[in-house]
């Protein structure tokens, strides 16, 4: 809905949208009975378009579902208060004066107030509360073998080889640089796993990037990639 909000804002400023865009932002004209925001911590930054889009939705009832209402700082939860229309703490300035600033200075009043508010509005559930018996997980490892002439093997090998070079480039820059780019490494591993299932699952542009880099490596006198090249993969 963040992109839908962008289309709506263009219309509000006098820019005529296409018919497709006009249909997209019709969602903001609907009066919902309730809106449930799953993974609500995603809108923790009140400056993002995603937050503004969610807050713009019209509804009688608002609920947030999240396992991490606080991620890095107290202000993270203020965006949820704003979405829930919890006044006056839904207003950023008041929230900071009442909760954020006292917490930063070590004043226990801020924590006491936050706990009181959460006890009033939050419904917390854990395994002990609901007496849930988790299903025992069984893990089975299997080797995947591709026929030599399989196009899926070619896709897998290209991704695997490019991933090796990318990870080496990242690790060569030190632990600090590796931590900055760990999400890129995880994304690369995801693509390799997809290729094990079917090469058709790998986005075409992602495979093309890997093919271009591998071709460049073959034409070089060295196989080393720069950190920027590794991250671009």
What the chain holds in terms of domains, given with CATH numbers, is: 2-129 (3.40.50.10810), 151-232 (no CATH)
Across 79-88, 164-173, 176-185, least confident range: 176-185
Exposure pattern of 131-145 as b/e (b: 16+ CB <10 Å)? eeeeeeeeeeeeeee
Share above pLDDT 70 across residues of the chain, in percent, rounded to a whole number: 75
The pLDDT score that the predictor gives to residue 96 is: 87
Average pLDDT over residues 93-105: 87
CA count, 13 A, side-chain hemisphere, 154: 6
The pLDDT score that the predictor gives to residue 1 is: 63
The pLDDT score that the predictor gives to residue 19 is: 52
Measured between alpha carbons, how far is 35 from 55 in angstroms, rounded to an integer? 10
Average pLDDT over residues 132-152: 78
| Count of residues in the chain | 233
User: Residues 224, 168: contact at Cβ < 8 Å?
Assistant: yes
Dihedral angle of Cα 182, 186, 191, 197, to the nearest 10 degrees: 160
Look at residue 181 and tell me whether its pLDDT is greater than 60: yes
The pLDDT score that the predictor gives to residue 62 is: 92
Share above pLDDT 90 across residues of the chain, in percent, rounded to a whole number: 1
User: Residues 232, 205: contact at Cβ < 8 Å?
Assistant: no
Average pLDDT over residues 28-48: 84
- Considering 54-63, 130-139, 162-171, the range whose residues carry the highest mean pLDDT is 54-63
In the chain, beta strands by DSSP E: 31-37, 58-64
The pLDDT score that the predictor gives to residue 221 is: 53
SS3 content of the chain, % helix, strand, coil (to 5): 60, 5, 35
The pLDDT score that the predictor gives to residue 2 is: 62
Average pLDDT over residues 8-25: 53
The pLDDT score that the predictor gives to residue 224 is: 58
């Amino acid at each position: 809905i963040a992109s839908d909000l962008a289309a709506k804002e263009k219309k509000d400023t006098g820019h005529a949208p296409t018919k497709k865009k006009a249909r997209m932002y019709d969602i903001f004209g609907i009066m919902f009975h309730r809106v449930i925001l799953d993974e609500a911590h995603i809108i923790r930054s009140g400056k993002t378009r995603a937050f503004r889009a969610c807050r713009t939705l019209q509804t009688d009832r608002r609920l947030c579902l999240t396992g991490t209402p606080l991620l890095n700082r107290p202000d993270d939860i203020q965006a949820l208060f704003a979405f829930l229309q919890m006044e006056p703490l839904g207003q950023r300035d008041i929230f900071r004066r009442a909760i954020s600033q006292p917490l930063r200075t070590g004043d226990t009043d801020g924590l006491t107030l936050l706990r009181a508010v959460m006890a009033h509005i939050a419904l917390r559930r854990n395994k002990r509360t609901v007496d849930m018996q988790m299903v025992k997980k069984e893990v089975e490892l299997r080797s995947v073998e591709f026929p030599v002439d399989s196009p899926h093997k070619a896709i897998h090998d290209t991704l695997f080889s490019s991933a090796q070079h990318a990870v080496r480039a990242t690790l060569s820059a030190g632990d600090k640089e590796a931590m900055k780019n760990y999400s890129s490494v995880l994304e690369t591993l995801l693509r390799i796993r997809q290729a094990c299932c079917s090469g058709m699952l790998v986005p075409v542009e992602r495979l093309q990037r890997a093919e271009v880099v591998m071709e460049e490596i073959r034409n070089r006198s060295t196989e080393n990639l720069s950190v920027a090249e590794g991250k671009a993969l």
